[in-house]
Amino acid sequence: MANNEKSNNTIIHDTICLFLITLVAGVLLGGVYQITKSIIADREEEAKVEAYAAVYPDSEFSEDADVRKKLDSFQKDLTAGKIKTASGTDLSDVEVQEVWTADKGGYVITCSGKGYGGAVKLALGIDGEGKIIGIQITDCTNETPGLGQNSSNEEWNKQYVGMTSAQDISVVKDGTGSAENSTVNAISGATITSSAVTRAVDGALLFVASLAE
């Protein structure tokens, strides 16, 4: 009987110890999460501001409640597959997350399209005439190194500069891409990523065009 009582006491003791260890670990992890969450959010905000400055130099940006409201409605239609390019390209995977108004006219936009491994995120600078004046890939970490991650290459991105909201941009693999015929050359071995970026750009341009309607 004494041995059984001792065994029961040991089990209770071990259970209490395990509970306390789990509780302390949970509290510590929660505290670390809250600290790192704030740091990560600050860094993401800094990166976004830097990207906007890069795609629309020498300008100040602000949020516009009316534009935000229109974006919410536009995004719902995008996700539902109600908005397509003139050639019929499906843009339901595209997300236009944020649009800020530039003091020089035009907008800076954060948007994304679904690539090979996940969302490919980018920032766009679009002037008052609906023309792309800057583009920067802000996140392509889910894409294949040496292939899809080459979408962050500045030389490749330059293909979109100068295109407008009046154009329906598409990807070609034969090297004949040009702004004149609204096409961009695919990244070698990464057509899916190239198309993801292009769909995101098309979605952003269509939103800007909708603001003028």
Could you read off the pLDDT of 122-135 as tens digits, one per residue?
999 999 999 999 99
pTM beyond cutoff 0.75: yes
Number of C-beta neighbours around residue 162 at 10 A: 12
pLDDT averaged over every residue in the chain: 88
Q: Are 198 and 113 in contact (CB under 8 A)?
A: yes
Residues making up the chain, counted from first to last: 213
Q: What is the pLDDT of residues 46-93, one digit of tens each?
A: 878 899 999 999 999 999 999 999 999 999 999 999 999 999 999 999
Q: Are 148 and 193 in contact (CB under 8 A)?
A: yes
Q: Pick the closest to residue 47 from 113, 174, 141, 150 (CA basis).
A: 141
Cα distance between residue 97 and residue 139, in whole Å: 14
